[in-house]
A and B are shown apart, each in its own frame.
Chain A
C-alpha cells in the first residue's frame, strides 16, 4: 500500500525554494493538485516577496546521492493565500504539460480518527538532503483550531522539510490534508505561557490542515476540483 502511494505521489511532491539573488534556499514541500499546474503548500512557508520555485524529483538512480549542491527549479507564483488557514495555492509560471491521477482530493470530513495515513515530503531539505520520505501514521485526533480551522493530528513526528506536503489516506490513496508541522503546545499556549515558551512540553504528534479548506481556496481561484 505504501509502495503504491509513494509511486503515485513521488512526482506530485516537489521541493519549494525561494530565490535569494543568484542562489536559492529551501523552504519546504509543495504538491501538485491540478493538471493546469496548481500546487498546494503551507502558507507560512512563504514570507516576503521573493521569487518562488519548485524542484521536481527525478530519481534516476535507485540510491540517489545524499547531498546536492545545485538544483534546476521551475518558477511558480502565489495565486491564493489564506494566512488564517495557513494554506497557499501556487501555480507554474510557464505552461507545462502535466498528467495526474483522477480524484486525488478526498472528502476529509469522512476520515475517521484511527484512519491510517501517510505523509510525504523532503524532510531534510534544509540540510541539502533532497530525498523524499514517506512516513506512516494514524489520525490520532481531529480538532478545530483557535480560529476554526479543521485539523488532523497524526502520530508521526514530521521534520521541518515536510511542511507543506500532503497527508494521504492509506485506504484510497487520496489527499486529506496539508501538513503544517509538529503539534507544539508552546505555540498554541504561547499567549498564556508568555515568555516561558521553552517549557518542555514535547509531543510526537504532527498536524495537517484539512484539505476542505484547500478546496475552498481552489474554488476561489476558479478551478474545479476532482
Chain B
C-alpha cells in the first residue's frame, strides 16, 4: 500500500510539475465529503430555524457540563508543549535529520499567523478589551483595575493556550507524517489509537468528518465575516448592507483565494500571507505612532507581566464559587472554538513546518505568534482603552452595538482615517483570503489521501466550493446554525487532543530511543552449507573501476 510507505518527502518542485487536469483523489474521502456537504447545506436550508435551536442547545449544554473539561484540556496541553520545548526531544527534526525548512522563517511566521488567528484579531483586538473593561466578573467595571484585567483576560483567550493547542495538533501531524511516514492527514493523529485501521474505513470516516468540519468552519466564517465587512464598508462609505453586496464580496474573496491556492503554497499562500502581515504591521505601526505611544509601550510590558503573574489563577478559574455563566460565553466558547479549529490550523501548520526541529517549531508556533498577538492586542486594545479612559470615549458603546465597526471608530480618532480605514478593509479582506486559501489547501491535502502537494483541479474545486457554500448559506440562511455545529465538534476533539499528548510522547520516546532491526516470524527450511574455496581476488568483474 503506497500510503504506508515509510517517508513523506516534500518536494517543492512537485508543485510546478503538476498538470492542470491531473486529479489525485482519495475516492471515498473526496466524494463522500462532497456529498455530505451538499446534504448538510440542503438540510440546513430546509430546517434552518430548527437546526439553529438544536445546535445552540447543544453548545450551551456543552458549556454547562463540559466547561471544566475544556479548561483542564487546554492547560494540560500547554504544560505538555512547554515541557517538549525544554525537554530532550527538542532537537528532533520534523522530516528527519537531513530535512531543511521549505520556507524562510519570516514567510513561515506570516503563514502561521494568517491561518491561525488573523481575522478574529482585527475585530476583537479593539472590541474584546472594551467588553471586559465595561463588564467582567473579577473586578469592578470601569476602574483602572478593570482596564488591567480586561487586557489580561483578552491575553488569556488569545495567548499561549490557543497556540499551545495548535502546536500540539500541528506537531503530532507533522511528526507522524514526516518522521514516521504516515499520510499527511487528520487520520494520522489517530494512528497510536487505531493502528493500521486508520487506512481503512475508520480512517476514512475521520478524514471525512475533518473535511466537512473544516469546510463548514471556513465557509461559515466567510459568510459571517462578509456581513461584518459589509457593516464596516457601510459605516465608511454608506453603501448599505444587503445580501447582494455580501455575495459579491464572497465572490471577490473566493476568487483571490482560488488564485492563491492554485498558485500553491510558496507562490500563492506564502506571498499573500506576507503581504497581509506587512499591511497589518503598517496599520499597527500607524496606530502606535499617532496614538498614545507612551501609554501603549508602557502597557505592553505591564500587560505581559500581569499575564504571567496571573496566568495560573486565570487559566484555572472555573466560576465554581460565583456560580455565574460569564465564562460560557467567553473562555469556554474560545477554548471550544480554538479546539474545533485545531485540526484545520494544525494541519496547515504541519504542512508548512517540514524541516524545523521540535524546539524551533514550538518557539515558532507557540511563543512568537503569542507575542505578536500580545503586541497587536496591546496596540489596538490599549489605544481604545486610552480613548475610553482619558480621551473622548464612545468606543465601548460602539462595541456593544456593532463589533465590526469598532476598528473603524478607533481609526476615526486619528488623522488620515480615510486612508487607514481603507487599509483596514483591505487587511480584513486579505485575512479572509488567507484563512480561506489555507482552509482549502488543508481540505485538498486530506481529500487527495495525504498528498502534501495536491493536484490543481482539486484545489480549484474546494476553493470554489467554500465560496459557493458560504454564498448559499448567506442567502438561504443557516450560517449561525452550521457554525455552532462546527464549534460543538470541539468537545470530542478535546478528548482526542488529550490522547494526542500521550500518543506524541510515546512516539517521540520510541523515536528518540535506540532502535534495532527486527524481523517477524517466517517459515524456514534448513539447508546444508557447501564450503567454497576462498576466492582469490574477486568474482564477477567489478565494472566500477
The reply to whether B538 and A181 form a contact with Cβ atoms under 8 Å apart is: yes
Contact A23-B544, Cβ < 8 Å, known A7-B516, A47-B539, A184-B537: no
The reply to whether B517 and A99 form a contact with Cβ atoms under 8 Å apart is: yes
The reply to whether A97 and B515 form a contact with Cβ atoms under 8 Å apart is: no
The reply to whether B538 and A44 form a contact with Cβ atoms under 8 Å apart is: yes
Q: Give the chain B neighbours of A226 by CB distance below 8 A.
A: 6-7, 96, 181
Bound CA span A86–B543, Å:
7
Q: Give the chain B neighbours of A32 by CB distance below 8 A.
A: 517, 519
Q: Nearest Cβ in chain A — how far from B25, in angstroms?
A: 21
The reply to whether A102 and B180 form a contact with Cβ atoms under 8 Å apart is: yes
The reply to whether A12 and B517 form a contact with Cβ atoms under 8 Å apart is: yes
The reply to whether B98 and A10 form a contact with Cβ atoms under 8 Å apart is: no
Q: Give the chain A neighbours of B528 by CB distance below 8 A.
A: 22-24, 69-70
The reply to whether A98 and B529 form a contact with Cβ atoms under 8 Å apart is: no
The reply to whether A70 and B518 form a contact with Cβ atoms under 8 Å apart is: no
Check A115 for interface membership: any CB of B closer than 8 A.
no
Check A91 for interface membership: any CB of B closer than 8 A.
no
The reply to whether B542 and A102 form a contact with Cβ atoms under 8 Å apart is: no
Check A2 for interface membership: any CB of B closer than 8 A.
no
Bound CA span A203–B166, Å:
58
Check B16 for interface membership: any CB of A closer than 8 A.
no
> How many A residues have CB within 8 A of the partner chain?
70
Bound CA span A97–B523, Å:
12
Q: Of residues 528 to 545 in B, which have CB atoms within 8 Å of A's CB atoms?
A: 528-532, 534-535, 537-545
Check B511 for interface membership: any CB of A closer than 8 A.
yes
Q: Nearest Cβ in chain B — how far from A139, in angstroms?
A: 18
Check A61 for interface membership: any CB of B closer than 8 A.
no
Check A193 for interface membership: any CB of B closer than 8 A.
no
Q: Of residues 1 to 52 in A, which have CB atoms within 8 Å of B's CB atoms?
A: 4, 7-12, 17, 19-20, 22-26, 32, 34-36, 43-47
Check A114 for interface membership: any CB of B closer than 8 A.
no
Could you mark each residue 505-518 of chain B with 1 if its beta carbon is under 8 Å from any beta carbon of chain A, else 0?
00000010011111
The reply to whether B522 and A8 form a contact with Cβ atoms under 8 Å apart is: no
The reply to whether A85 and B530 form a contact with Cβ atoms under 8 Å apart is: no
The reply to whether B526 and A172 form a contact with Cβ atoms under 8 Å apart is: no
The reply to whether A74 and B517 form a contact with Cβ atoms under 8 Å apart is: no
Partner of B530, one of A4, A20, A45: A20
The reply to whether A22 and B527 form a contact with Cβ atoms under 8 Å apart is: yes
Bound CA span A97–B495, Å:
32
Check B525 for interface membership: any CB of A closer than 8 A.
yes
Bound CA span A4–B514, Å:
8
Contact A172-B6, Cβ < 8 Å, known A47-B540, A69-B528: no
Partner of A172, one of B7, B97, B514: B97
Check B324 for interface membership: any CB of A closer than 8 A.
no
Check B202 for interface membership: any CB of A closer than 8 A.
no
The reply to whether B530 and A25 form a contact with Cβ atoms under 8 Å apart is: yes
The reply to whether B5 and A223 form a contact with Cβ atoms under 8 Å apart is: yes
Check A224 for interface membership: any CB of B closer than 8 A.
yes
Contact A11-B180, Cβ < 8 Å, known A22-B528, A96-B522: no
Check A133 for interface membership: any CB of B closer than 8 A.
no
Bound CA span A22–B527, Å:
7
The reply to whether A128 and B529 form a contact with Cβ atoms under 8 Å apart is: yes
The reply to whether A71 and B529 form a contact with Cβ atoms under 8 Å apart is: yes
The reply to whether A209 and B544 form a contact with Cβ atoms under 8 Å apart is: yes
Bound CA span A63–B325, Å:
72
> How many B residues have CB within 8 A of the partner chain?
42
Q: Nearest Cβ in chain B — how far from A174, in angstroms?
A: 8
The reply to whether B527 and A24 form a contact with Cβ atoms under 8 Å apart is: yes
Check A72 for interface membership: any CB of B closer than 8 A.
yes
Could you mark each residue 480-513 of chain B with 1 if its beta carbon is under 8 Å from any beta carbon of chain A, else 0?
0000000000000000000000000000000100
Q: Nearest Cβ in chain A — how far from B216, in angstroms?
A: 34
Q: Give the chain B neighbours of A46 by CB distance below 8 A.
A: 540
For A198, the closest partner residue in chain B by CB is B537
Contact A224-B7, Cβ < 8 Å, known A8-B517, A72-B524, A102-B515: yes
Check B195 for interface membership: any CB of A closer than 8 A.
no
The reply to whether B542 and A187 form a contact with Cβ atoms under 8 Å apart is: yes
The reply to whether A98 and B518 form a contact with Cβ atoms under 8 Å apart is: yes
Check B392 for interface membership: any CB of A closer than 8 A.
no
The reply to whether A98 and B520 form a contact with Cβ atoms under 8 Å apart is: yes
Check B9 for interface membership: any CB of A closer than 8 A.
yes
Check A135 for interface membership: any CB of B closer than 8 A.
no
Could you mark each residue 6-25 of chain B with 1 if its beta carbon is under 8 Å from any beta carbon of chain A, else 0?
11110000000000000000
Bound CA span A25–B535, Å:
13
The reply to whether A11 and B527 form a contact with Cβ atoms under 8 Å apart is: no
Could you mark each residue 126-158 of chain A with 1 if its beta carbon is under 8 Å from any beta carbon of chain B, else 0?
111000000000000000011101010000000
Q: Give the chain B neighbours of A225 by CB distance below 8 A.
A: 6-7
Q: Give the chain B neighbours of A94 by CB distance below 8 A.
A: 522-523
For B522, the closest partner residue in chain A by CB is A96
Contact A145-B7, Cβ < 8 Å, known A25-B532, A100-B517, A126-B532: no
The reply to whether B545 and A224 form a contact with Cβ atoms under 8 Å apart is: no
The reply to whether A107 and B516 form a contact with Cβ atoms under 8 Å apart is: no
The reply to whether B97 and A103 form a contact with Cβ atoms under 8 Å apart is: yes
The reply to whether A126 and B519 form a contact with Cβ atoms under 8 Å apart is: no
The reply to whether A24 and B537 form a contact with Cβ atoms under 8 Å apart is: no
Q: Give the chain B neighbours of A187 by CB distance below 8 A.
A: 537-538, 542, 545
Q: Give the chain A neighbours of B531 by CB distance below 8 A.
A: 25, 126-128
Bound CA span A83–B539, Å:
13
The reply to whether A44 and B541 form a contact with Cβ atoms under 8 Å apart is: yes
Check A68 for interface membership: any CB of B closer than 8 A.
yes
Check A101 for interface membership: any CB of B closer than 8 A.
yes
Q: Nearest Cβ in chain A — how far from B538, in angstroms?
A: 7
Bound CA span A160–B181, Å:
36
Q: Nearest Cβ in chain B — how far from A182, in angstroms?
A: 9
Q: Give the chain A neighbours of B532 by CB distance below 8 A.
A: 25-26, 126
For A73, the closest partner residue in chain B by CB is B527
The reply to whether A71 and B527 form a contact with Cβ atoms under 8 Å apart is: yes
Q: Nearest Cβ in chain A — how far from B310, in angstroms?
A: 42
Check B303 for interface membership: any CB of A closer than 8 A.
no
Q: Name the 3 nearest CB pairs between A and B, nearest first.
A: A97-B520, A11-B517, A101-B515
Beyond the given A25-B532, A84-B544, A94-B523, could you list 14 further A-B residue pairs with CB under 8 A, ordered by the A residue number?
A8-B516, A9-B516, A24-B528, A24-B530, A68-B529, A71-B527, A86-B544, A96-B519, A99-B517, A101-B515, A103-B96, A181-B542, A224-B6, A224-B181
Instruction: List B residues at the A interface (Cβ < 8 Å).
Output: 5-9, 96-98, 179-181, 511, 514-532, 534-535, 537-545
What are 8 sample pairs from A and B whose C-beta atoms fall under 8 A apart? A7-B516, A11-B519, A45-B539, A101-B516, A102-B96, A103-B96, A127-B531, A224-B5
